[in-house]
Structure 1
Amino acid sequence: MTDILVLYYSRHGGTKKLARLIARGIESTGAVARLRAVPELAITGENPILTEPEDPFVTLDDLTACDGLALGSPVRFGNMAAPLKYFIDSTSKAWLAGTLIGKPAIVFSSGSMLHGGQETTLQSMMLPLLHHGMIIVGLPHSEPALHTTSGGGSPYGPSHVTGEGRRQPDSDEKALAMAAGKRLAGIATKLKH
């Protein structure tokens, strides 16, 4: 059975919604989607939203066990959010062991504005995955929703625009998230066997 780790940080819920759609795409192939979150960091001078995540917190063992990885973050000034970066910075042991070498990965993001830095956030998540030796899997232009989306989604990965009252992913964003999950699981399965 192919095991895909869907690892995300979500402060206001937009990235978590995409994680669930990606998991549906993964599971549509018969693979297992294992949803994991990273904990909130203490924020000085601001009242953080401290909610217990619905999904368990990630461990380094989750990286060892997975056959592929979907990594998600909200946009933070065109970059991944600090809690996710903090976890990634703790993966040196996995990097030294070569735990993720040759495994496929996708990245996904959410943000409140259409031009708020979604693509650079996706690219910022790719960099440490490349250092880990992962195979980055994008969304090909053969996905019809890439040609019709007026919200999130690009060849770099699925994304969701949450602002202006749009709190639920639209039909194109949903289609791209599920397609990315399905594509990731299919490639992971081929590489595993």
Structure 2
Amino acid sequence: MSATNILVVFYSRHGSVAAMAKHIARGAQRVPNTNVVVRQLAEASFSHEQTSAAIPDDGYPYCELDDFVNCDGLAIGSPSYFGSMAAPVKLMLDQTSPIWMSGQLADKPACGFASASTMHGGHEMTIQSMMIPLLHHGMIWAGLPYKNRDLIATATGGTPYGVTHFAPHTQYTGLSDEEINLCEAQGQRIAELATKLKKA
């Protein structure tokens, strides 16, 4: 069987979501015969003018539609803006209509991850906002089960909807040990599920 391709795509404003993406990718790489592609999203433009360089100054390459087409499993991340995904994530998902029409994401697993600056800043709702369009694609949502004991122990990020991070400062100060463990567990889970579904 060919390698299982996992796409980890995210938008990060202050670095927290980017750090989560790195650990999710690390967890996915634990699964044998898995290829992990990490992509970031550019700032969204409301004037339809380019607001970001064509190539990012640092970090991962920008996500393109083909990255979605070629994936066997997807992890998508966003900061929480008023309990919803950030505009760049919504813009990217809105551009997936062509592959929705052809069903190219149907029956593939997906998961979400998010960061918010307050404990009640909409972590779970942000993940749910990303879940809805992916359910329209026919993707199979994979949450984070409580067999991961860090989900019970954490005093910062977690949730059974997907891993989250509590970022009380706009300056990134690092993920907690529990958040790192949960990110890696979620990455491993999505890769394992994608491999099983690909075999089936």
TM-score scaled by length of structure 1: 0.93
Task: Please state how far the C-alpha of 1:116 moved relative to its aligned partner.
Answer: 0.7
Give the match for residue 4 of structure 2: 2
Q: Identity, % of aligned pairs?
A: 45
- 1:9-65, Cα deviation, whole Å (9 max, x unpaired): 111111000000000000011312100111102478xxx998635111111111111
Alpha-carbon spacing, 1:60–1:166, altered in 2? closer, same or farther (3 Å)? closer
Task: Please state how far the C-alpha of 1:147 moved relative to its aligned partner.
Answer: 0.8
Give the match for residue 61 of structure 1: 66
Retained in 1: the 8 A contact 2:23–2:180? Answer: yes
Q: How does 1:65-104 map to 2 (within 5 A)?
A: 65-104=70-109
Q: Secondary structure at the match of 1:133?
A: coil
Q: Quick check: 1:190 aligned with 2:193?
A: no
Q: Quick check: 1:175 aligned with 2:181?
A: yes
Give the match for residue 16 of structure 1: 18
Q: Secondary structure at the match of 2:165?
A: strand
Cα distance in 2 for residues equivalent to 1:187 and 1:21:
18
User: Which 10-residue stretch deviates more, 109-118 or 70-79?
Assistant: 109-118
Alpha-carbon spacing, 1:142–1:114, altered in 2? closer, same or farther (3 Å)? same
Q: How does 1:16-35 map to 2 (within 5 A)?
A: 16-30=18-32, 31-35=34-38
Flag as ranges the 4+ runs of structure 1 deviating above 2 A: 48-53
The Cα RMSD (Å) is 1.7
Matching residue's letter, 1:65: N
TM-score scaled by length of structure 2: 0.90
Q: Secondary structure at the match of 2:8?
A: strand
Specify every segment of 5 or more residues in structure 2 that has no aligned partner in the other structure, as ranges.
none
Q: Quick check: 1:52 aligned with 2:19?
A: no
Number of residue pairs aligned between Structure 1 and Structure 2: 190
Give the match for residue 121 of structure 2: 116
Matching residue's letter, 2:91: Y
Cα distance in 2 for residues equivalent to 1:168 and 1:129:
29
Matching residue's letter, 2:123: Q
